[in-house]
Chain A
Amino acid sequence: MTECQDIELEQSRRDSLYRTIRLIRRFEERCLDLVKSGDLVSGIHPCIGQEAVATGVAAALDGEDIMFSSHRGHGHFLAKGSDPSTFLAELLGRANGIDRGRGGSFHPSDFTRNIYNATGTVGHSAAIAAGAAWSVAQAGTGQVVTCFFGDGAVSQGALLEGFNLASLWRLPVIYICENNQYATSLPVGAAVAGTITGRGEAFGIPSVTVDGQDVEVVLAAMTGAVRRARAGDGPTLIEADTYRYFGHHTFEFKVRLDYRSEDELARWRCRDPLEIAAGRVSPQVRSEIDADVEAVLDEAVRFALDGARLDPADAQEYTYTTGPQPRAGAL
């Protein structure tokens, strides 16, 4: 087991944790509006309900630390400090987006924040993260690497191969499984034999399940994991129990999949990460933060909608670092 010590946070940190959760929640709600209005064409995998995981994880990291996100990753980016304006512009596929419109909602990256990417191949970031962790460990930079994935990813062989390499070489990587109870429509109980932490333990990785709705609990687990990683003691697996309030992807608003009961949703909404964090800040600070977040997001929406459209003639720019100009599809 990893150490999961109680930490008494200063009030300013609690305020800041609340702010990040609020920012993610409202960012996602703005995205839902932009999906409805047709401006965010791809739709999104909303992380509403899971904000405390990203927030607690990022709060334990330094700016230089490396992160690998997932398809449900908007919260990871915002928590690690990505600029909401250029990030939103990216989701809209605009020229002023963080990846110049080439990453979109499912596979963005932000190298200004050392977020390397969110590969679309579920579970495969585990070994990519191990490789990055090996590089930084060899270079002795002291950076740690964090890697997010869902409960669906733990059935992917390549993820387990990543665990093996990370543990074999005691690499400074922290695996965070956001167990939101479903992989699309598949409940975790119908997919995972044994347990998620058992996957980590099988490879000798200290593994712990924590309450992912309480940001301070996540932060505490991460603090121990980061210490271990920086000390050269190898990887940790943190399974954060959480829940997404909305569909797997916004297309569910149309297809109306029915795999979760109203009861279940209501139970999880009682443990809302936003309200848990809000309970630790004063009402006055809360309303100041809320107003500030709205102002930031008003600006982000304006910036993104004002972003220039991309030119189809540039569709293959950035395919290669050097060399071939790919031939056109028609002469």
Chain B
Amino acid sequence: MPRLSYLKALNRALGDEMDADESVFVMGEDMNFALTNVTAGFLQRFGPQRVLEMPLSEQGFTNFATGAAMAGRRPVVEFQIPFLLLLVFEQITNQANKFRLMSGGQTSVPVTYLMPASGVRTGWGAQHSDQPYSLFAHMGVKTVMPATPTDAYGLLITAIRDDDPVIFFGPLACMGVREDVDYADLLPIPLGEARLHRSGTDVTVVAVGQLVHDAIAVADELAGEVSVEVFDPRTIYPFDWAALAESLQRTGRLVVFDDGNRFAGLGAEVLATAAEQMHLVAAPRRISRPDAAIVGASPDLDAGLLPTRQQLTSAISAVLKG
């Protein structure tokens, strides 16, 4: 069986969709040399009319994608660094994502924003290491963050086919993750469907992005002692609340393992919703970056800011006691 890396899955998904649908095209910086490798080989394969080399003009080209989408195309806009999404936060949340409603349903804006290296780049400094998925979810933009190559493939296909703006976060720490897969098994995955990586009966761990792999490792470590259910929402917004309710029905205990900042983050939302509406027998916990986290200058300092397996293990024992 072929070994598929996360990065190769993105390349494959995008290439398959461009083959299948003429209206799909990709745009971004350093496309001609496929700097991020997501579009490796595309220029030869699809030509410069479908692989658009963009100047360093993020606000302009994000709006450009909106216009191209309203006029019938399906743009995939690649961003190299997470903070660029902050530069175009307005163009995505206040423009592209509102135009359907503002038109009373006359138009749709089917753009995919592909962020293939989100999260910490050790040593790259404070401005290159954010993980802003909660911000977009807060504004109601469809947001996915798959953890595995198969999920990355399936969710990128779905994001491109979706008629609304979708942001795809591919954590940098997942890019090298590999999986044995039969290519024939690669299928689109619906938005808003969680995946259970481990079933368990004692505690539900909701983990996202690269933290899914840490959560799996912790669950395996604790196997025999504690039965941990590893719940990967895969889509941040819309969140699969039904599946979470079902999981908590079984376990009654919840820990969220979130790579975003603490204040008003994904962890806060999941805890609040579980507390309001779901079955809990113990106070839930969340592990996140601290409030106001500025990460990425030195590996030593990063250790004080990033969620760890050890924190997860302690949180699990705390909710078991609680």
Hey, which bits of chain A sit against chain B, CB under 8 A?
A: 66, 97-103, 107-111, 116-117, 119-121, 124-136, 138-139, 157-158, 161-162, 164-165, 168, 316-324, 326, 331
Contact = CB atoms under 8 A, between A and B. Distances in A.
B55 A168 contact: yes
A128 B101 contact: no
Contact of A323 (B70, B104, B142): B142
B276 interface: yes
B65 A100 contact: no
B94 A121 contact: yes
Contacts of B49: 138
A318 B66 contact: no
B60 A133 contact: no
B102 interface: yes
A124 B63 contact: yes
Contact of B104 (A100, A120, A125, A322): A100
A316 B277 CA distance: 22
B60 A127 contact: yes
Contact of B163 (A107, A131, A157, A321): A321
B102 A131 contact: no
Contacts of B277: 331
Given A128-B64, A134-B64, A322-B164, A164 B103 contact: no
B44 interface: no
Interface stretch (B1-9, B105-113, B301-309): B105-113
A124 B91 contact: yes
Given A99-B106, A100-B105, A124-B91, A161 B71 contact: no
Contacts of A98: 104
Pick the most buried of A99, A116, A131, A158: most chain B CB atoms within 10 A of its CB. Answer: A131
Contact of B142 (A130, A168, A318, A324): A324
**Which 4 A-B residue pairs are closest in the complex by CB-CB distance?**
A161-B60, A131-B67, A100-B104, A135-B71
B182 interface: no
B281 to A, nearest CB: 21
Contacts of A120: 94
A66 B237 CA distance: 33
Given A134-B68, A135-B67, A318-B101, A127 B107 contact: no
Interface string B70-108: 111101000000000000001100110001111111111
Nearest to B72: A135
Contacts of B265: none
A102 B103 contact: yes
Nearest to B73: A135
Interface string B138-175: 00101000000000000000000011100000000000
Given A127-B59, A161-B57, A132 B104 contact: no
B296 interface: no
Contacts of A317: 105
Contact of B100 (A97, A101, A131, A318): A318
Interface of B: 49, 55, 57, 59-73, 75, 90-91, 94-95, 99-108, 110, 140, 142, 162-164, 191-192, 237-238, 276-277
Contacts of A318: 100-101, 103-105
A331 B277 CA distance: 9
Nearest to A68: B67
A23 B73 CA distance: 36
Contacts of B73: 135, 138
Contacts of A66: 71
A131 B91 CA distance: 13
B106 A321 contact: no
B109 to A, nearest CB: 9
> B67, B94, B162 — which one has the most chain A CB atoms within 10 A of its CB?
B67
11 contacts: A102-B102, A109-B103, A111-B107, A131-B69, A134-B68, A161-B63, A165-B64, A319-B100, A320-B100, A321-B110, A321-B163
B18 to A, nearest CB: 14
Nearest to A161: B60
Contacts of A316: 101
Contact of A321 (B108, B192, B237): B108
A29 to B, nearest CB: 26
Nearest to B97: A319
B70 A116 contact: yes
B63 A158 contact: yes
Contacts of B237: 324
B67 A133 contact: yes
B67 A132 contact: yes
B57 A164 contact: yes
Contact of B191 (A102, A162, A323): A323
Contacts of A319: 100-101, 140
A131 B66 CA distance: 7
Contacts of A158: 59-60, 63, 91
Nearest to A127: B63
Contacts of A129: 67
A121 B96 CA distance: 11
Contacts of A138: 49, 73
B100 A165 contact: no
Given A117-B99, A135-B73, A319-B140, A324 B63 contact: no
A134 B95 CA distance: 19
B64 A131 contact: yes
A162 B55 CA distance: 11
A317 to B, nearest CB: 8
A148 to B, nearest CB: 14
Given A124-B95, A164-B60, A103 B68 contact: no
A97 B105 CA distance: 12
A316 to B, nearest CB: 8
Given A100-B104, A117-B102, A323-B191, 13 more contacts: A111-B103, A119-B95, A128-B66, A131-B63, A135-B71, A135-B73, A158-B91, A161-B59, A168-B55, A319-B100, A324-B237, A326-B140, A331-B277
